[in-house]
Amino acid sequence: MNDHILGLLPDEIEKRLYTIGEKRFRKNQVLNWIYNNHEIDFYKMSTLSQSLREKLSTKFENFLPEIIKVDISRDGTKKFLLSLVDDNRIEMVLIPNKEKNTLCISSQVGCARNCGFCATASMGLIRNLEVYEILSQVFLAIKELKEKKLTNIVFMGMGEPLDNLKNVIKAVRILQDKQCFSFSSRRIIISTCGIIPKLKELADNGLKIKLAVSLNSAIQEKREQLMPVCKKYPLTELKNALLDFRKKTAFHITFEYVMIKDFNIGQEDTKALLKFLGDISCKLNVIKWNEVSSMPFKSPSEAEVAEFIHGMENSSFAVTYRKSRGWDINAACGQLAGNY
């Protein structure tokens, strides 16, 4: 199969055009059609010669995932079920909030990390997404929004992004390239469960990116119950890796904390959190667990949430209570499972 046009950086496209006898400036015309006019069908690029359009169609792939189903939440959130070229399915979620439009994208089909509160874990890992498959989600979302602007991208959909780090890094480079999607580094977040070797690789890569860490407990034994990755990469080692990461980035680290009733919102949990996060330049997002029928956990009440947050009112880091979006269509955090 030829290289997919969405999976290539501008200089890669230029080199391939040169090999088929085209002038280098043709690259700018092609990129303008794709990223400014949002047209990926080569034959509809009307300012290009017929011969060039035919060359493009034989040199590059340009198909997009098929949108199988769209679910719309009462809060306006949209969940898209996409079919890939090999008939595997992934989900992406588009979340509107006033002038902001955030896209939650997947990086894998399924996930190998088996977190106990996440529906994607039930799939296991099927495969990594290719660069073009990651970016196709962004391209489809932009076309869906039409005149509205896609403002934020979060790698918080299906999969563990750091387990597909090579493709995720290239996808982010294309997202940030001025000739491509031209997203600010402040508008892209990569979320991870804490794969320490990959965190170090990402830190040393020089990529400007915001990092979010799915923490969910600062007590080793509890985090192991929720997240088996913690057995291999314990909290003490994770913290050292994050302190090192923070030295190499201009951005605060965001910690995500899923609140589970009668499990991780007691006084001992608050105390452990304050100790773990106290010397890290960070912020903490707390969110109620979004119930999945096949799992034994329960969401806390609003009173229990308030008490948990109150226990951290004198913390050195900001604490934000993030309300779930799209929970009624199974589009909220931890609910994506590629169902159809």
pLDDT tens for 53-86 read 999 999 999 999 999 999 999 999 999 999 999 9
What pLDDT is recorded for position 329?
80
Continuous H helices in the chain:
10-19, 26-31, 50-59, 131-145, 165-176, 196-205, 220-226, 229-232, 235-247, 267-277, 302-310
What pLDDT is recorded for position 333?
80
What pLDDT is recorded for position 311?
96
Cross-strand partners of 286:
257, 321
What pLDDT is recorded for position 330?
78
pTM given for the model: 0.96
What pLDDT is recorded for position 339?
61
Place of tokens 């929970």: 327
What pLDDT is recorded for position 324?
82
What stretches in the chain show pLDDT beneath 70? 331-332, 338-340
Catalytic residues: 91, 333
Distance CA 179, CA 25 (A): 13
Domain 5-59 part of CATH 2.40.30.10: no
Cross-strand partners of 27:
none
Contact 87, 109 (CB under 8 A): no
Distance CA 36, CA 45 (A): 12
What pLDDT is recorded for position 295?
79
What pLDDT is recorded for position 338?
55
Domain 66-329 part of CATH 3.20.20.70: yes
Any idea where the domains of the chain sit in the sequence?
5-59, 66-329
